[in-house]
Amino acid sequence: MASLKVAVITGASSGIGRHSAIKLSSEGWSLALTARRLAQLEETRSLCANPDACLLVAGEITDEAFVKSLFEETVKKFGRLDLLFNNAGLSDKARPIEEMPLEMFTSVVNVNLIGSFLCTREAFKIYKQQEPTGGRIINNGSLAAHVPRPHSVAYATSKHAVHGLTKTIAIEGRKHNISVTQIDIGNAHTSMAAGHTLGALQPDGRRVVEPTFDPIHVADAVAHIASLPTSVTVLEMNIMATGAPYVGRG
């Protein structure tokens, strides 16, 4: 019988998180799914191949106590952890930096960076203590981690910081058999990117209708990386719509 594989997916109530949950479930993974909206998490679970192997834990990943309980409940139910997909993300409408409220800037950074940090810290504790040791972390980056869009100071800053988190924990995790990946996604057709099909602001001031692609392909990529032995690392992966401009570089 195949060994149990266990994943925590944040932001699992919709979009890439939901598609990744469905894909991993179809490949036999047991899942701890988290997001703020319980009703949408229940819908994600209903779409999975094995709903009985899906633990739902609704809450805020920016809440330290909640994140600790999420990982405690995961290990209590499934006995171990093999994958953390730091997928939860928050964006904001495009606006010049002088119009960016501190509250919104902080909210974006808290979800995209602090939430990923809190989840990563708890995963590291488990990976170092369990037998066999080790596991995998996949961070949902963005093209914005490398080439920001105009008027995206909060989102781009947070994703650049996630890039630093990825590289740092990859170094820390090596000797503990912890493999780390950042998957940088460009224009997957989720609610966050759907507006690009109506015209996205470019660095030269034009608005250009940009192509998108089905997020199921991101889920396939996540599942492939998750299937690799932890002795193999895909440090960075870019997946984007073929016709999308590589924003910031023309």
Q: How far apart are CA 34 and CA 111, in angstroms?
A: 13
Query: HSE of 162 in the Cβ direction (CA atoms, 13 Å)?
Result: 41
Q: How far apart are CA 23 and CA 27, in angstroms?
A: 7
- Long-range contacts at 47-54 (CB < 8 A, ≥ 24 apart): 47/18, 47/21, 47/22, 48/21, 48/22, 49/22, 49/25, 50/25, 53/25, 53/29, 54/21, 54/25, 54/30
Catalytic residue among 29, 117, 124, 155: 155
Question: Could you confirm whether 155 is annotated as catalytic?
Answer: yes
Q: Are 137 and 180 in contact (CB under 8 A)?
A: yes
Peptide bond into 132 cis (omega under 30): yes
220 φ, ψ (degrees, to nearest 5): -60, -40
β 83-86/6-10 pair status = parallel
Q: How far apart are CA 34 and CA 66, in angstroms?
A: 10
What residues are labeled active site?
155
